Chains A and B, each alone.
Chain A
Amino acid sequence: MIALGVRCSNSDVSYVFLTGTRETPNVVASGTRTFPKNFSSPQRLTWIVREIEALLKANEVGLVIIRQFEGRAKGTAYEDRVEAEAAVAIAAGNAGIRTVHKKRQGSLAKDLGLKGRARYLKTMDKSQLAGYVDMADKLQEAALCAWSALP
């Protein structure tokens, strides 16, 4: 089974496809898709849905984990990110994926076998996941999402 972890921002979507088990995760594919410039909000959201649909089509994904926005901040940037997270969920639904979870850091830590506190993620041993240290911050978050869903 392949798990897809996604980390959205107001300007891009980072994704990591993982397979294997919690003990031996393998990266199938990863990347970041930057939103097109000068797209209106509906165009951008349609674009995200289509990008994620294409990615899901290229990989036989069993479940999708979206890194959920953490705080209570307000503003366009945060709204855009939340909208992007919703677009990813719609794409997963369109692709027939029934398991789509949104996780905050606490849930991620718990599902990775740590105590349910965000701070434990920082000290966690990530050496089993090849290439993790070389990933950009958002990709690392996407990778942790996918990792947390592996059996």
Chain B
Amino acid sequence: MAVGFDFKKRLGAGHFGEVWLASERGLGATCAVKLIPPDRIANPSNFFQEAQALKAAEHPNVVRVIDTGFIPDGRVYVSMEFLKKRSLDDEASGSHVHLSRVKRVMIDALRGLEHAHNQGILHRDIKPANILIGDHDEGKLSDFGLALPAGISPMTIGMKGYLYTLHTAPEVLAGSPSTVQSEIYSCGATLFRLVNGDMFVASPPDLSAEILAGTFPDRTHYRAFIPRQVRTVINRALNVDPKKRYQSAADLRHAIEQLSTFVNWQEALLTDGIRWTATAGSKCYEILGTVDAAGIHSVVVRQGASSKSLRCISSLCYEGTDKAAARAHSARVLQDFVLGRQP
């Protein structure tokens, strides 16, 4: 039977082709269709590898594959469920994502990854753009275009050596095959980007060398409100030594599950400082870190029932000439709120 789609809108395009929102003519069902020109197929020895990997990794936290084949112009298609909330990358739009959101979605995505690993499949391309948001706000792993059975080198099957360097583990950059631990590194890089935003991962001139040295991304440089516990989990996932990382997706998931995220801060840059705002339960919070013309640094912490009725919590405020002390103070207060240690 000839397959027919009514292509409605192009959702995106990348190295391996295009993704379209389409309607399948037979059932009238809406789906996302990935179209891959034959010369862009990652594995020339198996045009349908992506769809087959998706099918083998079928799980509530993996995007559901519907069908695969060729369209009349010769391109390979992979039709999948359409998720209208798009990806974490779309949601972040270069900025950071709320900690509680990152936690929930990554727990889900890691469940999907854990299942794929249990089926002997390595994803090899974990990044925010490949974590989609389901209708119930759950995370779903997508894009298995580079996926391979564990233990098989891309070279042995003539697979193209495409790598997204930013998320690639140092040992893979050095030529070793992908492993479960290299996927953990990619998850760590994904987490780092999501909690900080893309401005924290501006590529240095020699990106590969810095990744190999473990100096990129900068594990000491996080947004002020990210608590030490979160940094520790991400930094362990990003360890240059694969043996010192979490050894499985389940291990990383369990570590993320135990992170506290009581308050989600929003950060706004002002001309004379930074303002963080948050809402938790029935309360609103605001922390204002500013410096005046005389060089006095102040941290003002306020809370109230709404953003228009904020009152200063004087015991948490700071004023002084020491910039480092003011920064440390605001970071401590911000992180205490995230950990639920403040009123």
Contact = CB atoms under 8 A, between A and B. Distances in A.
A36 interface: yes
24 contacts: A33-B254, A34-B254, A34-B257, A34-B258, A35-B257, A36-B103, A36-B107, A36-B257, A36-B258, A37-B257, A37-B258, A37-B259, A37-B260, A37-B261, A38-B100, A38-B103, A38-B260, A38-B261, A38-B262, A43-B104, A47-B257, A50-B111, A54-B111, A58-B118
A47 B138 CA distance: 12
A46 to B, nearest CB: 10
Interface residue tally of chain B, by bracket? 10 to 19
Interface of B: 100, 103-104, 107, 111, 118, 254, 257-262
Contacts of B103: 36, 38
Interface of A: 33-38, 43, 47, 50, 54, 58
Most buried by B among A33, A37, A50: A37
A33 B103 CA distance: 17
A54 B60 CA distance: 12
Nearest to B257: A36
Contacts of A33: 254
Nearest to B107: A36
Contacts of B104: 43
A38 B103 CA distance: 10
Most buried by B among A33, A38, A43, A58: A38
A112 B340 CA distance: 45
A58 B259 CA distance: 26
Given A33-B254, A36-B103, A54-B111, 18 more contacts: A34-B254, A34-B257, A34-B258, A36-B107, A36-B257, A36-B258, A37-B257, A37-B258, A37-B259, A37-B260, A37-B261, A38-B100, A38-B103, A38-B260, A38-B261, A47-B257, A50-B111, A58-B118
Nearest to B340: A38
A38 B260 CA distance: 6
